[in-house]
Amino acid sequence: MNPSPSARAGRTFFIADLHLTDERPAATGRFFRFLQDEVAGADALYILGDLFEAWIGDDHDERVAGDTAERLAALTKAGTRVYFMHGNRDFLLAERYAARARMALLPDPTRIDLYGVPTLLMHGDTLCTDDTAYQNFRHRARHPLTRALLHRLPRAWRQRLAREARAGSEAAKVRKAAEIMDVNVDEVVRVLREQQARRLIHGHTHRPAQHVHHVDGRACERWVMPDWYTRWGYVVCDATGCTLRMDAL
Ligand code: MN
């Protein structure tokens, strides 16, 4: 049985890679039940990117966008803080939608004090430094000029561009070696050292796990959240530590 909302204070939830779209209603339904059954009453919910399968601008008109904003706003209103960090699929999500969903936008990376442990939050795509083709694309796609141009395009054009970008990335994934699409461990150690964090929580790779990395002789945890395609799950932390929970969708 789930604890009552009042018993959930002192806990913080982390999710990523839900890839919500009207085309996969099971994941959306699971997400809304998760908010109601697990997250309600918690200290905070951190959404670390790729909440949506695609995001072409804050005029995104899928039904799931409106429904999600409503649920997240209700959560904030009830006292659970909601934070959002961009993923590679929804990096165009902006202030207008964030205000509607009453969630705070976070830069990638963000370091927080999580019940006394300096914890680094990232989407995870910037850790995949072996995938140079993707890193080049990321740089071009997020350039302010590209964004300014995209904002001026009619919605139908942006929808078509997003479809083409997704098809291109799916085709590239088939060709790339599996190791290239995982994080580069040297980069993980570098950011942990640079940010002076003892824990890292990220998604993107769809390889849920708990890892330990040694940084200057100190053991640091790395938690990778699952995607919500055929399974669902999250990382939950309290003063005693973190846990990764997963189940079939
Ligand atoms: Mn991603």
Structurally, the chain folds into a number of domains equal to 1
What residues have a C-beta under 5 A from ligand 1, the ion? 50, 87-88, 204
What domain range is 94 assigned to?
A: 5-248
173 within 8 A of 207, measured Cβ to Cβ: no
Q: Please give the distance, rounded to the nearest whole angstrom, from the Cα atom of residue 213 to the centre of ligand 1.
A: 22
Q: Please give the distance, rounded to the nearest whole angstrom, from the Cα atom of residue 7 to the centre of ligand 1.
A: 32
Cα 219 to Cα 120, 179, 193, 245, 248: the distances in Å are 14, 23, 11, 22, 31
Q: Please give the distance, rounded to the nearest whole angstrom, from the Cα atom of residue 123 to the centre of ligand 1.
A: 7
- For residue 130, the domain's CATH number is 3.60.21.10
99 within 8 A of 66, measured Cβ to Cβ: no
Phi, psi for residue 72 in degrees, rounded to 5: -70, -40
**CA 245 – CA 241 distance, rounded (Å):** 13
Cβ contacts of residue 105 below 8 Å, gap of 6+? 83, 84, 85, 86, 93, 95, 98
Q: Please give the distance, rounded to the nearest whole angstrom, from the Cα atom of residue 125 to the centre of ligand 1.
A: 6
Task: Please list the pLDDT of the chain residue by residue as tens digits (249 residues).
Answer: 556 666 678 999 999 999 999 999 999 999 999 999 999 999 999 999 999 999 989 988 899 999 999 999 999 999 999 999 999 999 999 999 999 999 999 999 999 999 999 999 999 999 999 999 889 989 888 888 888 888 888 888 888 888 888 887 877 777 777 777 899 999 999 999 999 999 999 999 999 999 999 999 999 999 999 999 999 999 999 999 999 999 999
Residue 67 sits at the vertex; the CA angle it makes with 121 and 74, to the nearest 5 degrees, is 70
Residue 117 sits at the vertex; the CA angle it makes with 112 and 122, to the nearest 5 degrees, is 40
